[in-house]
């Protein structure tokens, strides 16, 4: 939805329309981190680096659509919008005009993977791999692709990114369906839903198993050089995804020693459900909650395992390397404990069988001595034993917050009375 007053809109008016600035309290967040030294790849329709709010923030990048060398956003404006929400710095006196992003000192690596909204699996997968090879820290995927299921080129490219310690963020989709879209639904991807200005789940935000976090996603003003005044206003999980990617960039800048999984851990542990009556975590609409960038930067949160709290792709579908292979300590330990438990059960079953056989033989001998034909009757043998394996969790996430001991993921701080809820007020909000 374009701004209805686009022909006469002033830059100051654009800044005033950014309600998210007050909700999140950008200035307070920036006292901790602005995303310095971090690069976010925006795999989208390209990025217009000449937009006044993005000048100097956009790296060279790549066009994987075959349309040329430069990833220009000359037909849609969507990618430019995502880049502005992540790393826009505004313009004019003190940069007080135009769009300001949540991580204004992060750099954007533009990857043009589509002209509009028709994302080809092979093309954007190539873009993801290129971005990883350029050393990006975060990849923003503000699109859906129904073909990006496990085993697809897109899925393999995301595994490639995860194995090389890159945070991958994608939107859940804008259909209002009880099904998270791909590639957000893929293992290990930080799947983002959208909330409206009342901070309730947006009616068109896809939900269901796999939602990780939610962020503001309605009435979002963003840069768009395809419009006459250079700006557009829109609703969608795309915008929410950009804000989560920016939050990941802020955390990576402040905590460069954390793995991608541990960055996601901080985002999850610092999130909030506000006053929502959530019965089970992750919730099908809110996931682990609403992002709180300032809390993600300042709360005392244990690093946790290197792999992070989200389920990862099966080793049978990818080659373990880098950070991904290093982060499997807790998984391997669980497997060893599982094998040990199973072995103990079978050992006990074997001893029990021997005892029963001895008892039966004793009864038979005694029966024969007493002149009777004895022995166990029908159905009197050893009952079948269980497998010794715990029941398989139906969700893609590790059990949370009721995790098994030593998982490294306690109940999220910020949900107790010790951490006041920064989103308690209705808009305009005090922020974080």
Percentage, residues of the chain above pLDDT 90? 64
Looking at residue 258, its pLDDT comes to: 98
**What angle do the packed helices 78-87 and 237-254 form, to 10 degrees?**
40
DSSP 39-104: EEEEEEB---TTSTTTTTTB---EE-SSS-SS----S--HHHHHHHHHH-EEESGGG-EEEE-SST
Looking at residue 188, its pLDDT comes to: 97
Least confident of 173-182, 247-256, 409-418: 409-418
Let me know if residue 259 belongs to a domain: yes
DSSP 135: T
At 23, give phi and psi (nearest 5°).
-60, -50
Let me know if residue 323 belongs to a domain: no
At 190, give phi and psi (nearest 5°).
-80, 100
Let me know if residue 170 belongs to a domain: yes
One of 44, 73, 165, 224 is an active-site residue; which one? 44
More confident residue, 82 or 327: 82
Q: Name the burial class of residue 389, with classes exposed (0-12), middle (13-18) and buried (19+) by CB atoms within 10 angstroms of its CB.
A: exposed
Q: For residue range 290-317, list pLDDT tens digits in order.
A: 999 999 999 999 999 999 999 877 654 4
Let me know if residue 328 belongs to a domain: no
The shares of helix, strand and coil residues in the chain, as percent rounded to the nearest 5, are 30, 15, 55
One of 33, 84, 97, 238 is an active-site residue; which one? 238
Q: For residue range 373-408, list pLDDT tens digits in order.
A: 333 333 333 233 332 222 323 323 332 232 333 333
One of 48, 53, 76, 78 is an active-site residue; which one? 78
Looking at residue 316, its pLDDT comes to: 40
Instruction: Write out the residue range of the structural domain in which residue 132 sits.
Output: 6-311
3-class DSSP state of 396: coil
Looking at residue 47, its pLDDT comes to: 97
- Report the distance separating Cα 389 and Cα 399, nearest Å: 16
**351 has pLDDT over 60:** no
Looking at residue 105, its pLDDT comes to: 98
More confident residue, 310 or 323: 310
Q: For residue range 358-376, list pLDDT tens digits in order.
A: 444 444 333 333 333 333 3
Looking at residue 326, its pLDDT comes to: 35
**57 has pLDDT over 60:** yes
Q: What is the mean pLDDT of the chain?
A: 78
pTM over 0.75: no
Q: For residue range 128-152, list pLDDT tens digits in order.
A: 999 999 999 999 999 999 999 999 9
Mean pLDDT, residues 59-83 taken together: 91
Domain CATH number, residue 11: 3.40.50.200
Clarify whether 44 is annotated catalytic: yes
- Cα 368 off chain centre by: 71
**117 has pLDDT over 80:** no
Give me the number of domains the chain comprises: 1
Q: Name the burial class of residue 216, with classes exposed (0-12), middle (13-18) and buried (19+) by CB atoms within 10 angstroms of its CB.
A: buried
Return the H-helix or E-strand segment holding 11.
Answer: helix 11-16
- Does residue 301 contact residue 266 with C-beta atoms inside 8 Å? yes
Closest CA to 393 of 404, 385, 409: 404
Enumerate residues 6+ apart whose C-beta is below 8 A from 350. none
Mean pLDDT, residues 225-238 taken together: 95
Let me know if residue 415 belongs to a domain: no
More confident residue, 360 or 252: 252
Clarify whether 238 is annotated catalytic: yes
More confident residue, 417 or 159: 159
Q: For residue range 30-50, list pLDDT tens digits in order.
A: 999 999 999 999 999 999 999
Let me know if residue 398 belongs to a domain: no
- Report the distance separating Cα 290 and Cα 301, nearest Å: 17
Let me know if residue 178 belongs to a domain: yes
DSSP 100-119: E-SSTTSEEEEEE--SSS--
- Report the distance separating Cα 238 and Cα 425, nearest Å: 25
**176 has pLDDT over 90:** yes
Residue with tokens 């390397």, as numbered in its chain: 321
> Which tokens sit at 21?
């600035």
- Angle at CA 257, nearest 5°, toward 255 and 262? 75
Looking at residue 69, its pLDDT comes to: 76
How far the first Cα of the chain sits from its last, in Å, is 28
Least confident of 134-143, 214-223, 237-246, 319-328: 319-328
Let me know if residue 134 belongs to a domain: yes
């Amino acid at each position: 939805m374009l701004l209805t007053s686009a022909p006469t809109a002033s830059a100051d008016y654009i800044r005033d329309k950014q309600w998210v600035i007050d909700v999140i309290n950008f200035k307070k967040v920036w006292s901790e981190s602005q995303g310095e030294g971090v690069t976010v790849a925006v795999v989208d329709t390209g990025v217009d680096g000449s937009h006044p709010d993005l000048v100097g923030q956009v790296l060279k990048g790549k066009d994987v659509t075959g349309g040329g060398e430069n990833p220009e956003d000359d037909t849609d404006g969507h990618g430019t919008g995502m880049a502005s929400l992540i790393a826009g710095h505004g313009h004019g006196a003190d940069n007080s005009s135009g769009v300001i992003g949540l991580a204004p000192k992060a750099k954007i690596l533009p990857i043009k993977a589509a002209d509009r909204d028709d994302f080809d699996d092979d093309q954007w997968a190539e873009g993801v791999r290129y971005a990883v090879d350029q050393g990006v820290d975060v990849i923003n995927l503000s699109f859906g692709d129904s073909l990006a299921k496990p085993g697809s080129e897109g899925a393999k490219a995301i595994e490639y990114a995860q194995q090389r310690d890159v945070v991958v963020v994608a939107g859940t989709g804008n259909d209002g369906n009880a099904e998270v879209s791909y590639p957000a639904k893929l293992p290990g991807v930080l799947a983002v839903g959208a909330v409206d200005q009342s901070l309730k789940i947006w009616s068109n935000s896809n939900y269901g198993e796999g939602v990780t976090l939610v962020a503001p996603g309605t009435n979002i003003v963003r840069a768009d050089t395809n419009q006459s005044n250079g700006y557009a206003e829109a609703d969608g999980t795309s915008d929410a995804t950009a804000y989560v990617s920016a939050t990941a960039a802020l955390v990576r800048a402040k905590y460069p020693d954390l793995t991608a999984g541990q960055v996601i851990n901080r985002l999850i542990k610092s999130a909030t459900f506000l006053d929502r009556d959530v019965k089970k975590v992750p919730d099908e609409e809110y996931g682990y909650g609403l992002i709180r960038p300032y809390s993600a930067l300042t709360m005392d949160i244990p690093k946790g395992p290197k792999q992070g709290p989200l389920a990862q792709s099966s080793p049978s579908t990818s080659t373990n390397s880098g950070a991904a292979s290093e982060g499997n300590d807790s998984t391997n330990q669980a497997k060893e404990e599982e094998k040990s438990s199973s072995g103990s059960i079978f050992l006990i079953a074997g001893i029990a069988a021997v005892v029963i056989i001895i008892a039966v033989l004793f009864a038979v001998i005694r029966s024969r001595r007493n002149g009777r034909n004895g022995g166990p009757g029908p159905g009197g043998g050893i009952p079948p034993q269980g497998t010794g394996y715990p029941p398989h969790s139906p969700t893609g996430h590790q059990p949370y917050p009721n995790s098994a001991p030593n998982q490294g993921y306690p109940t999220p701080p910020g949900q107790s009375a010790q951490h006041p809820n920064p989103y308690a007020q209705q808009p305009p909000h005090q922020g974080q």
